[in-house]
Chains A and B, each alone.
Chain A
Amino acid sequence: MKILRAPRIERCIGCHSCSLACARLVHQRISWSTAGIRIASSGGLSTGFEARLCLACDPAPCAMACPTGSYTQRKSGGVRVDKSLCIRCGACAGACPVEAIYLEPESNLPYVCIHCGRCVPFCPHQCLALEPSPHEADEPGQAVGAGPGQPADGSAGQAAGEAPHAG
């Protein structure tokens, strides 16, 4: 399984199309914040943009911090999410080293990237890509997949059995 990266984020124009796509297609929300990928500027628009998204840790501190099994380790890094088990404690967000998990203030529900790639085709400058996981490369005999920058179709990379309402 591949993971989502932002290898060309310096091309970002701050349109938030990726966040809006994730919220719309993965979480059935219209939002630029309740999404697995979020765009932020640091120090105002004149300094450019950064993408806040899961770095696909393995082992994932958020999964280890989750007390209920709502977050479990994903094979290629990152987490699988079963929202029905979430008790909204926020421990996952506290454990993330890069602020990749967004806690919706009203509900305290966590939102994290599930590396499904559905945001990728909505980026007008190909900032995003599904790439081989570095964690898989260490495993003997494991297929690594296509090279960096390969565009994904609408559902490419979604893990089998991954809940579409994950997060």
Chain B
Amino acid sequence: MQADYCFRILVVDLVAGKCEFLRFGDKRELLGGSGLAAALFGQYGRFDVPALDPAQPLVFAIGPLTGCFPMMSKVVCGFKSPYNERYAESHAGGRLGLSMRFAHIDALVVTGRAPTLSALFVGQRQFELKDVHYLKGMDVFTTGKMLRKMRSGGAGHRSILRIGPAGENLSAIACINVDSYRHFGRLGAGAVMGSKNLKAVLVEGGSAIPAPEGKEYPDLYRQIHMQLTDTGMMKKYHDLGTAENMAVMNGLRALPWRNLQATSDDAGIDAISGETFARELLLRKTACTGCPVGCIHVGLLREQFAKDHDVLYRQVSYDHEPVFAAGAMLGMTNASDVLAVLDEMERQGLDAISGGVALAWATEAMEKGAVGLDETLTLLSFGDAGAYREAVAHLGSPPNEFYRFLAQGTMAAANRYNGQDYACVLGQEMAGYATGEVYFISQALGLRHSHLDSAGYSYDQKNKDKDTSKAVAFMLEDERQRCSLNCMVSCLFARSAYTEEALGKALTAMGYPEVAANLVQAAGNVQKLRWKTKFATGFDPDQVTIPKRFLEVVTWKGPIDVTYVGDLKEAYAREIRKMGQ
């Protein structure tokens, strides 16, 4: 089979309601996914124009292995973030990756702004931009139901992206929901969809591609599949799921509680641990397509909605990050209460991490008297799920200035109400790891401001020394290796199975020996390309601040070493600046 090293790109113009297929780039250089998204943003984006300008593109990109091997199931979304006005990436699973693969779309580039609130339908033999003004203000789940009614065929072989009220209202912490339980969560991709008047995108993937001839491909597939399912490699993700980390982090004194006022709560952890969720609320598990692990844990939320025995039930997915943000961070003492808050986040289309951390800040701001009931409209106090549900609805559709600021991110509100010191923001709202200096810098300065840029949290746990050069070298090399995975686009849970050697074998089996041969070099180039793109949109690491709250943290290693934090920040900033030039 002759290898095709070009990407097949679908560019959609929402103004004209037209689309065009183009050939773009070279897999040997960009690899796909992360590299492809950054290159497409360079081609179609405007570095100096605001994130929510209709001219800015919203890019979704898959990689050369998507759908071809287990756990090659994710999609990279590239966009200019309304949260910080910088180039951003967010990743999601669900069915989108395989739907794009089987619609023969390597990347979807959406430009312009639709004349009315619209839904976009793409796939084999279909393209339609449909007016859906009647879905205005509709929550994420109802929107999904409506979309399924509008397109009844193709169930199981399609993906539905949609935004909730938060995205329509241009919240900088609005997510794009993917197939109910997955999300392009962070840095405000939902607002970019909202700015385009795009309520939903349905990708139908009913086609197929020829498998490579010979035994090499099916044999390698079987080997990887069995490695993932027959060994203990994926047990953590499958069994309790990432929520297992709640008790582990709490035991380490590295779990942020009550707006990071504490890093452990031995009396409170049992109520919201992964073990408790699994034992009391786990309803079932589900998976992204092409992934035999099934890490998506869905909990059963049973609610009495009236007197006597009038009850309803909801199905709410949970992971470590959402449980940290809507649980420990909000001082919850009951696992069902955590699901109740998460359910409201889902409906509003808010990023759960950002939303939880923002409300934790608001609670402390209320305790300190920086804001009052006139602002919050409900009495926020740690552990009060009912109040938080109301507040989440206000975040989705802000009724006043306070929620308008908070919906733009915690620091936006902290700047307005003078609460910067205790805003748990590291580039964006922190993830659930208060492990120490390396993690704080890796999130604060990392490309995605995510715990996924590099394993800084793991480095903190494994290294007692405070060797700045060694730590920065680890962050840079780990990020480069993750670029390989993010270009394919693999789930990062599979990183121990997909070493660069294994990726090379997979690429060769798929007929891309030249991509395999150039993988390490190309991943390094993609790493630089992403930083160049981020710097071109104005990123300045010197402007990144580490709020005082992080410097007051005490972990199992003792108090944070403020000098080490400063040294890491300076050294890492120097290195990424070099790459960004």
Q: Do A and B come from one complex?
A: yes
Q: Which residues of A contact B (CB under 8 A)?
A: 13-17, 20, 23-25, 28-34, 38-46, 48-49, 104-106, 122, 124-125
Is the Cβ of A24 less than 8 Å from the Cβ of B208? no
User: How far does the Cβ of B507 sit from chain A's closest Cβ, in whole Å?
Assistant: 14
Q: Does B232 touch A at the CB level, under 8 Å?
A: no
User: How far does the Cβ of A167 sit from chain B's closest Cβ, in whole Å?
Assistant: 12
Is the Cβ of B289 less than 8 Å from the Cβ of A32? yes
- Selected contact of A30 from candidates B208, B291, B292, CB within 8 Å: B208
A31 CA / B101 CA spacing, docked (Å) = 9
Known: A24-B211, A32-B98, A124-B229. A15 touches B155 (CB 8 A): no
A16 CA / B99 CA spacing, docked (Å) = 12
User: How far does the Cβ of B555 sit from chain A's closest Cβ, in whole Å?
Assistant: 36
Is the Cβ of A20 less than 8 Å from the Cβ of B287? no
Known: A31-B102, A41-B155, A122-B225. A105 touches B290 (CB 8 A): no
Is the Cβ of B209 less than 8 Å from the Cβ of A30? yes
Smallest Cβ-Cβ distance to A50: which chain B residue: B156
Is the Cβ of A44 less than 8 Å from the Cβ of B180? yes
What are 29 A-B residue pairs whose CB atoms fall within 8 Å in the complex? A13-B294, A14-B289, A15-B288, A15-B289, A15-B290, A15-B292, A16-B290, A23-B208, A24-B218, A29-B208, A29-B209, A29-B211, A30-B67, A30-B210, A31-B208, A32-B156, A32-B157, A32-B205, A38-B156, A39-B156, A43-B148, A44-B144, A46-B298, A46-B315, A48-B284, A105-B125, A106-B207, A124-B294, A125-B294
Is the Cβ of B144 less than 8 Å from the Cβ of A28? no
A32 CA / B527 CA spacing, docked (Å) = 32
Q: Does B70 touch A at the CB level, under 8 Å?
A: yes
Interface-centre pick from A20, A28, A30, A125 (highest chain B CB count, 10 A):
A30
User: How far does the Cβ of A102 sit from chain B's closest Cβ, in whole Å?
Assistant: 9
Number of residues from B at the complex interface, CB < 8 A: 44
Q: Contacts A30-B209, A31-B102, A44-B145 given; 6 further ones with Cβ under 8 A?
A: A15-B294, A30-B210, A33-B205, A105-B125, A124-B229, A125-B294
Is the Cβ of A45 less than 8 Å from the Cβ of B179? yes
Q: Does B286 touch A at the CB level, under 8 Å?
A: yes
For chain B residues 274-297, which have a beta carbon within 8 Å of chain A?
Answer: 284-294, 296
User: How far does the Cβ of B96 sit from chain A's closest Cβ, in whole Å?
Assistant: 13
Residues of A within 8 A of B294 (CB): 13, 15, 124-125
Is the Cβ of A17 less than 8 Å from the Cβ of B225? yes
Smallest Cβ-Cβ distance to B298: which chain A residue: A46
A122 CA / B284 CA spacing, docked (Å) = 20
The A interface, classified by DSSP as helix, strand, loop or mixed, is: loop
The B interface, classified by DSSP as helix, strand, loop or mixed, is: loop
Q: Which residues of B contact A (CB under 8 A)?
A: 67-68, 70, 98, 101-102, 124-125, 144-145, 148, 155-157, 179-181, 205-211, 213, 217-218, 221, 225, 229, 284-294, 296, 298, 315
User: How far does the Cβ of A151 sit from chain B's closest Cβ, in whole Å?
Assistant: 13
Residues of B within 8 A of A104 (CB): 207-208
Known: A30-B211, A40-B156, A46-B180. A15 touches B218 (CB 8 A): no
A83 CA / B182 CA spacing, docked (Å) = 40
A25 CA / B222 CA spacing, docked (Å) = 10
Residues of A within 8 A of B144 (CB): 44
Residues of A within 8 A of B207 (CB): 31, 33, 104-106
Residues of A within 8 A of B298 (CB): 46
Q: Which 10 A-B pairs give the minimum distances between C-beta atoms? A: A31-B208, A40-B156, A13-B294, A124-B292, A15-B287, A13-B287, A29-B208, A34-B208, A40-B155, A28-B211
Smallest Cβ-Cβ distance to A38: which chain B residue: B156
Known: A28-B211, A105-B206. A14 touches B286 (CB 8 A): yes
Residues of B within 8 A of A49 (CB): 156
Known: A13-B294, A15-B294. A44 touches B286 (CB 8 A): no
Smallest Cβ-Cβ distance to B94: which chain A residue: A45
A16 CA / B291 CA spacing, docked (Å) = 8
Residues of A within 8 A of B125 (CB): 105
Residues of B within 8 A of A34 (CB): 208
Residues of B within 8 A of A16 (CB): 98, 156, 289-290
User: How far does the Cβ of A83 sit from chain B's closest Cβ, in whole Å?
Assistant: 15
Residues of A within 8 A of B124 (CB): 105-106
User: How far does the Cβ of B466 sit from chain A's closest Cβ, in whole Å?
Assistant: 43
Residues of B within 8 A of A106 (CB): 124, 207
Is the Cβ of A30 less than 8 Å from the Cβ of B68? yes
Residues of B within 8 A of A20 (CB): 67, 290
User: How far does the Cβ of B325 sit from chain A's closest Cβ, in whole Å?
Assistant: 22
Is the Cβ of B315 less than 8 Å from the Cβ of A14? no
Is the Cβ of A41 less than 8 Å from the Cβ of B156? yes
Is the Cβ of B206 less than 8 Å from the Cβ of A33? yes
A118 CA / B347 CA spacing, docked (Å) = 41
Residues of A within 8 A of B208 (CB): 23, 29-31, 33-34, 104
Residues of A within 8 A of B181 (CB): 45
Residues of B within 8 A of A122 (CB): 225, 292
Residues of A within 8 A of B221 (CB): 24
Residues of A within 8 A of B155 (CB): 40-42
Residues of A within 8 A of B211 (CB): 23-24, 28-30
Smallest Cβ-Cβ distance to B144: which chain A residue: A44
